Amino acid sequence: MTCECMEMIGYAAAGILALKFGICFLTGFYRRFLCSPTNVKKMGQWALVTGATDGIGKAYACALAKKGMDIVLVSRTPFKLQNVAAEIEEKYKVKTKIIDIDFTTDAAVYKKRLEEDLKGLEVGVLVNNVGMSYDHPDYYLGIADGEKRVTDVVNVNIASVNTLCRIVMPAMVERKRGAVINISSMSAMIPSPLLSVYAGTKAYVDVFTQGLQIEYAEKGIVVQCVLPGYVVSSMSGLRKPTLIAPMPREFVASALARLGVYSRTTGYWSHDIMAFVVNMLPFGIGEKLTFDQLKGIRVRGLKKKAKNQ
């Protein structure tokens, strides 16, 4: 190959990179400064939030109530649901409805109940937030309660999302408006050793949601996948906010501001940076760093478990 050909190839490659950078810059500028988030109140009167009694789920319920939406709170424990419902009604002066569901059970059973309880409600926003992981990171064959825990994680993280979408979305399609927010995890972006089942289920949520967004955009439905990093919650085990682990209320305010602007997002600025760095690392490096980090968390988890026994 001649020097002239090599030079032309170099110019072409540089041109393509410059074009891609320009498109990314203009797209980012438009989304950041010119594009407005979805007005959730126009989607319908009610918002349904699963896993609504703690962390990100409760924060979504409160944020949507603050915008004037009535809230359907779905979670496992009636007592907690009643407390959150009372808190929201008192603070935001909206209606609430509580539905206690254990998502580890057969989806066919709770699907019928949800369909009955939601009759007559115009659900404009669905937040599939309920999630389940292990007690601590662990090797696949060492997961506590083994087969049952793995089945429960799959049922809670995947079956619940499928079921709720099938219940709520038909009416949205008929009205030609609605919003679906599916909560995944940053652990779904690359293999996450010692969280293989959890990360695998969240990867399903990510790819499933991207498909829904393409399928139903023309039907007037806004579909968004949120892939958060660490957030202060009972699931993460974090109690104090840091630069990379915001409080749920702060995280949700940021994520809702991106609804209708980004169909796939981490939801928060510091998580954006983390995801960018992870995606830029050479193949295998990110996985190795993740593995080492989770090994340390596993050791601490095992020590805590031994201490409590």
pLDDT tens by residue, 24-77: 444 454 455 446 899 999 999 999 999 999 999 999 999 999 999 999 999 999
Cα 97 from Cα 74, distance rounded (Å): 9
Q: Catalytic annotation on 198?
A: yes
What is the model's pLDDT at position 30? 45
- Please, what is the end-to-end C-alpha distance for the chain in angstroms? 71
Non-local CB neighbours of 219 within 8 Å, separated by 6+ positions: 172, 173, 176
Cα 39 from Cα 56, distance rounded (Å): 20
Domain ranges of the chain: 38-308
Catalytic residue among 60, 198, 230, 268: 198
Cα 191 from Cα 182, distance rounded (Å): 20
Full pLDDT tens readout for the chain, 309 residues: 565 665 565 556 556 655 655 544 444 544 554 468 999 999 999 999 999 999 999 999 999 999 999 999 999 999 999 999 999 999 999 999 999 999 999 999 999 999 999 999 999 999 999 999 998 999 999 998 889 999 999 999 999 999 999 999 999 999 999 999 999 999 999 899 999 999 999 999 999 999 999 999 999 999 999 999 999 987 777 788 999 999 999 999 999 999 999 999 999 999 999 999 988 888 888 889 989 999 999 999 888 888 887
Cα 143 from Cα 150, distance rounded (Å): 8
What is the model's pLDDT at position 6? 54
Class (C level, CATH) for 38-308: alpha beta
What is the model's pLDDT at position 22? 56
What is the model's pLDDT at position 152? 97
Closest-CA residue to 75 (of 53, 60, 58):
53
What is the model's pLDDT at position 19? 60
What is the model's pLDDT at position 26? 47
What is the model's pLDDT at position 36? 84
